[in-house]
Amino acid sequence: MTLRTAAHPDQLARVIAAVFGIPADTVTEESRPETIPQWDSMSHINLVLALEDEFGVSFSAEDMVEMLSVRLIRLILAERGVTA
């Protein structure tokens, strides 16, 4: 299990890129399901699990539902002590 870690600004982008299979430099703060075609309901679940694994945190159902954009993901991670 990975320890809780301070995320580099692009660590989050790298995880997101790896989950969806897209280049990391196409991931921006505004990125959201409408702007990334690979981001569907099934891959959203993979994303949540990948984030939990990568940053050693645990999300609530509400967190999972509110991860509507990369910016929001960063805010939610920040609430868990992962600074980006």
Which has the closest alpha carbon to 69: 22, 15, 33, 32? 32
Cβ pair 83, 30 in contact under 8 A: no
Q: Which of residues 18-77 bind other proteins (CB under 8 A)?
A: 18-19, 21, 32, 34, 41-42, 45-46, 48-50, 52-54, 59-61, 64-66, 68-69, 71-72, 75-76
Cβ pair 82, 47 in contact under 8 A: no
The residues that touch other proteins, with contacts defined as CB under 8 A, are 1-2, 15, 18-19, 21, 32, 34, 41-42, 45-46, 48-50, 52-54, 59-61, 64-66, 68-69, 71-72, 75-76, 79
